[in-house]
Structure 1
Amino acid sequence: MNSTNSVLNPEAPEFHPHLSSVTQGGYVKVNKSIKSSNTLPAGTSYGIFKTFTDFNVVTCQLSENVVLQSNQIIASELPAVKLKRNEAEGNTEKIVDVNDSILDRININIDASSRVIKTSDTLTNGIEARTNARWSSSPVIAKIQVGSATFIGAKNITRPQINFKDTIDNSESLWVPKISDKPNSIKPLALTMLYNDEGEAIGYEHPYKVELDLYHPPTQLIGPDVQPLPFPAPLAETMFTYVDTEAKLDALVQHLDTVKELAIDLEHHSYRTYQGITCLIQVTTTEGGDFIIDALAVREHIHKLNAAFTDPRKIKVFHGAEHDVVWLQRDFGVYLVGMFDTYQAAKELSLQGLSLKYLLMRYCQVDADKKYQLADWRIRPLPAELIEYARMDTHYLLYIWRHMKDELLKVGQPHRLLSVFENSRRVCGYTYNKEVLTETSHMPLYVRSRKSFNSQQMAALKMLYKWRDSQAREVDESTTYLLPNHMLLALAETLPREVQGVNAVCNPMPPFVKLNLITIHRMLLSCRQLPNEPQLYQMPPSIRNAVNASVQPGTLHAMHDLPPRMDLCDEMPINLQNAMDLLDDDTTAEPEIEVFLPDNMISYGTFISDLNAEAKVFIPPYDRYRKYRSIAQLEEIKEFKEKEAKIAAISKGNELIKSEVLVKLQQATNQIENEEKNNIKTHIKSEEVTQDEDELIITQQRKRKISAVRVGTDVKQEIACIKKNDSTVKPFSYKNVDYKKLYNQTNKDHKYKQPKIKFKKYKN
């Protein structure tokens, strides 16, 4: 709006002089009102307060005042809308409609003031004026700083895919390669279909598969440089060519035919299209300088680059070419044969950093500014800062590849360098295939969210995910543009019953959601009617443990332990101007209350054990439970190990008993032979000793439960041998022994008396 013309609002001419004070003061008052309303009781507390007459009188008066003042504000925008008392749901819906109308009017006025549309096209006839608005050809560029990155976007960029001569096919049918001719071929062009084990077609074979299988880098590329490459001149002193016509592209193709080395990079856009669009191709040569190909302007002619890109005698230097290879195939039918990927070389050399920014600083001492990595590369004409940013990606790449080659040769002779060439050749063999939606396509999003959904929520997530994908394919927009992931998860989690609930979750509401609000609400209601099975879709324990293990210990606190700070969530609209304040790491915040501090931070000392009930530091109940549980687990482990040792000993019992028996038998045999040479008394004693030994052996065998199959036969044979050697040894007969008499005699000798047990009687 024109700030010098107060006639814009003739019904309130006094408003213009106080515009600044009204807007600033109004914002403060609205903020205070919101904070005050948040302190009012809600839920169960509200029901308790409603039992007091004074509270009812105050709330009724406040409600009436809010309705009256809101009607006065709304009357200037939509006079037909009137709020009513005690109709919270209906009033909410009316306020949403009024807000949408106000925001639409503000957007149109801003467009008019910024000359996006002519002043005569401002809102004079309602929707007709908005429809007939004429947009200017030049985009309105905006720059937003997000941390160290700068987002460059434009408001009114014409969608470039509308002007493409080749149709965009977003269906789930197989992608057919766009290649029409095959330069530098060993095998003629032939598209071969590939099938899986079930006989289903899964894609086409790489057109240059044979050429890649037979590729070997030329000798001059794997040997040391005869003459080192001079350091590149600054950008301002280097020749630059912007290729946006077919004639300029033909000239570039002729130039590439004369060079042996070229550095290549691509700039891609994926936010306002389903499959993505390659917007720029940067090429740098030592002889010709820097080239930037406008891939949107000469899209149908870029296939001519195959003549140089598939020539095995030329080295094509990329950095991180995994995506670039498939983008060239998808958009232009261009393939690569003979590539050196500096990212693969950095991995082979085990460098500290793998990014291009690190390589530029290591080899060229150039601090590359990567703040424009969030830029919208569809902007035309391309701003000067984006051109400079794009040139930096390839300007020093040939110099870097030469130095990395020398390092690889010094470290491990040619085989390390050949390993990088082999990995680069493997990357060249990648083929593009469309994204296929399956029954589990939504699961990666669910796992990353770290949420736990029941069957109703899981059904809603699956349904919304599939519906969003089908709509994105139809309108050729990215799924995140139509419905961001955090809103998709919030809708599936909350399953709002009313349309107002969908409005509350999707704030600010994307245009696509606004157009399909009723459809989304009906899908959510249908999922609410499904049977609820909470355990059906729980997160797998292995995944949950891995997620929990990724959290560093000691960096998280309970919510009530931390000082009051603003809650951050994906649903909250973020002011990008203050994004740096929101990006500060808040996970290491310490509690304000001392009793919640860890024991190693208490200034007045520590205590012996966290389980001590008399500890000076407060221990939350759950922490105490965890410590008791750990002690119990240690006891269980100790008991288990003891049982395991006993079982192992028993399993070895037969072998131990057998060895002991053999030792005892050998001792008894030796002793008998010695006693035969002595006198009769010594012989009698030896008989007693031998008899004791036999009894000891038999007793040990009984106690350890000797197996009759493995050990019993050996024992009998040994005893028979002893008896054969000495006929005076007689076995003791246990069958006719009076054990009862023996037991009574023993008790009499020891004067054993069983004590009487006395019982005390207690009165209740």
Structure 2
Amino acid sequence: MAEHTVIDTPDGYHRALDRIVAGEGPIAVDAERASGFRYSQRAYLIQMFRRGSGTFLFDPPAIGRFDELNEAIAGDEWVLHAATQDLTCLREVGLDPVSIFDTELAARLLGMPRVGLGTVVEELLGIHLAKEHSAADWSTRPLPEPWLDYAALDVELLPDLRDAIEGLLVEAGKTDIARQEFADELTRELAVQRSEPWRRLSGIHSIRGLRNLAVARELWLSRDALAQQLDVAPGRLVPDASLTAAAKAMPDSKRALAAMREFTGRASRTELDRWWSAIEAGRTTEDLPVLRGPGDSLPPPRAWSDRNPEADARLKAARAALTTVAEELSLPLENLLTPDTLRRVAWTPPAEITAATVADALAKHGARRWQIEATSQAIAQAFVESSQTPGDASEAAS
């Protein structure tokens, strides 16, 4: 196996740019982050491969921006596996494609039961792809040679995988569906901005009492500020379970907090003053949080039968109908139509339920054209049947 060199100088970057532009065909792209180790989701390695050009491993922190490279290749097709995982960190450094082929998404559209890169490569190319370094700390410098070999192979196989999958899409008559899905990935809002991100704290639903919830909020915010300052994953400082335990216990002194066996983590004692200050702030604040956060989230489906029985009936009927459609098209149900879209239309349906009005509602919630064409009639029929006799429903939904 050839030794791989990380490109981390302006001269190396410009030489690679010239070689990539001189190649032919689509450009395979991948990025490695340090999730679980760093606070940021920045790319710490960006891999590219193009036939006739070779393999390139870029060091983004050293290079900075990739605007010149992007200008040269943005119009070419980029091949990625699970593009939504990488597009944000690529865009942060100026890499923003206008045309992609997502091999992971395409595998889902083909109905493959497992769509991880290693599995898909082995099934379609007959090559075993070890994934032992996928969860490594890619902010490590220098990067070990085995890691570089792993990273290079990820992109070197993508063009062949893309060609194999494209052939299967043609056979299945799903090329137009795939094109619509790839285009949607490029326009989708990938970074969700939450108004109260502290509510993502694992175990928060087990916390009872608004005062306890205020303590949980202050602990989360204090940990998040420190994690951002140090560029360390928050859970590596103090795990979620420790914050939840402290919010439930409400220790009455710094000593009591230090004595909690459940309060663990590498910064649990070195930053004890910080955590105690957060607890005191939560215990004394007049700005108590509400039990449920703001937003337009719907109740969980399990609560629908009590809170909105008609919507519950619509949802269950439509879900059963779409399960049949998904089986006929050999598609996962969540790719045929996102569960959230179906729930929103079932909760607040059109005043007059027809295939056309349901189609309009689906479009307003971001459904793609092929999804609308495949599901609107079935959903309208199911909605009507959930509240009328079968004889009336057939006529009303047409």
With structure 1 as the length reference, what TM-score do the two structures score? 0.36
1:252 to 16, 35, 51: 16
Taking a change above 3 Å as real, the CA distance of residues 360 and 483 of structure 1, as seen in their structure-2 partners, is same
Q: Tell me the alpha carbon deviations over residues 402-456 of structure 1, each in whole angstroms, 9 at most, x when there is no partner.
A: 11111111221xxx213212221222234676x7563x3233335x555141222
Question: In the alignment, is the contact (CA less than 8 A) between 1:503 and 1:509 conserved in 2?
Answer: no
The 3-state SS of whatever aligns with 1:353 is: coil
Alignment partner of 1:381 out of 142, 147, 151: 142
**2:154 equivalent in structure 1:** 393
How far apart are 1:239 and its partner, in Å? 8.3
**Secondary structure at the residue paired with 1:297?**
helix
Higher Cα Rg: structure 1 or 2?
A: 1
Query: Once the 2 structures are TM-superposed, how far is the Cα of residue 338 of structure 1 from its aligned partner?
Result: 1.6
Q: Identify which of 348, 361, 366 aligns with 2:122.
A: 361
The CA deviation at 1:251 is 1.6
Picking from 490, 514, 518, the partner of 2:269 is: 514
Q: Please report how far the alpha carbon of residue 367 of structure 1 lies from its aligned counterpart in structure 2 after TM superposition.
A: 2.0
Secondary structure in 2 matching 1:350: coil
Secondary structure of 2:101 counterpart:
strand
Partner amino acid, structure 1, of 2:83: A
Aligned to 1:445: 201
Give the SS at the match of 1:292: strand
Cα shift at 1:360: 0.9
Cα–Cα, structure 1 residues 325 and 292, in superposed 2: closer, same or farther, change >3 Å?
same
1:500 to 1:272, Cα distance in 2 relative to 1, 3 A: same
Take 2:281 and 2:291, find their aligned partners in 1: how far apart are those partners?
A: 18
Report the Cα distance in structure 2 between the residues aligned to 1:326 and 1:538, rounded to whole angstroms: 29
Residue 77 of structure 2 aligns with which residue? 315
Structure having the higher helix fraction is 2
SS in 2 for 1:278: coil
CA separation of 1:544 and 1:403: change in aligned 2, threshold 3 A: closer
Q: Equivalences for 1:639-654 in 2 at 5 Å?
A: none
> For the residues of structure 2 that align with 1:243 and 1:403, how far apart are their CA atoms?
30
For 1:426 and 1:334, the matched residues in 2 are separated by 18
Match of residue 455, structure 1, among 202, 210, 215:
210
**d(CA) in 2 for partners of 1:247, 1:306:** 17
Looking at both structures, which has the greater relative contact order when contacts are Cα pairs under 8 Å and sequence separation is at least 6? Answer: 2
Count of residue pairs brought into register by the alignment: 297
Matches within 5 A, 1:395-474: 395-412=156-173, 416-430=174-188, 438=195, 440-445=196-201, 448=203, 450-474=205-229
Q: Cα RMSD between the aligned structures?
A: 3.1
Give, as a single letter, the amino acid of the residue that structure 2 aligns with 1:353: R
| Residue 241 of structure 2 corresponds to residue 486 of structure 1 | yes
Q: Tell me if 1:524 matches 2:279.
A: yes
Map of 1:603-642 to 2, 5 A cutoff? none
**Change in 2 beyond 3 A, CA 1:525/1:545:** farther
Matches within 5 A, 1:2-17: none
8 Å CA contact retained: 1:329, 1:335:
yes
CA contact (8 A) 2:3 2:145 kept: no
Change (3 A) 1:524 1:379: closer
Query: What amino acid is the match of 1:282?
Result: Q
Alignment deviations for residues 522-573 of structure 1 (CA, whole Å, 9 cap, x no partner):
4434545689x9xx84999965958xxxxxxxxxxxxxxxxxxxxxxxxxxx
Report deviation, 1:269. 1.6
The equivalent residue for 1:324 is 86
- Report the counterpart of residue 316 of structure 2 in structure 1: none
Counterparts of 1:591-740 in structure 2, within 5 Å, are none
The residue number in structure 1 matching 2:43 is 278
Cα distance in 1 for residues equivalent to 2:84 and 2:219: 31
* Aligned residue number for residue 503 of structure 1: 258
Deviations 1:254-278 (A, max 9, x none): 1221222221100012445433221
Matched residue of 2:241: which SS? helix
Indicate conservation of the 8 Å contact 2:238/2:266, yes or no: no
Within 2, Cα distance between the matches of 1:474 and 1:380?
Answer: 20
Q: 2:150 corresponds to which letter in structure 1? A: Y
Give the gaps of 5 or more residues in structure 1: 1-235, 547-764
Instruction: Give, in angstroms, the shift of residue 298 of structure 1.
Output: 1.7
Distance 1:541 1:430 in 2: 21
2: distance between equivalents of 1:337 and 1:529? 51
Deviation at 1:482, TM superposition (A): 3.2
Aligned residue for 1:334, secondary structure, equals coil
Show the counterpart of 1:345.
106
Q: How far apart are the structure 2 equivalents of 1:322 and 1:538?
A: 29
- Output the CA distance in 2 between the equivalents of 1:345 and 1:247: 37
Q: In the alignment, which residue of structure 2 is the partner of 1:289?
A: 54
Preserved CA contact (<8 Å) 1:265 1:394: yes
Q: 2:133 is matched with which residue?
A: 372
Question: Percent of counterpart pairs with the same letter?
Answer: 21
The whole-number CA distance in structure 1 between the counterparts of 2:279 and 2:3 is: 59
- Structure 1 residues 527 and 328, CA gap change in structure 2 (3 angstroms): closer
Superposed, which structure 2 residues align to 1:49-198 within 5 Å?
A: none
- Check whether the contact 2:227–2:233 (CA below 8 A) recurs between aligned residues: yes
Instruction: Tell me the equivalent position of 2:96.
Output: 335
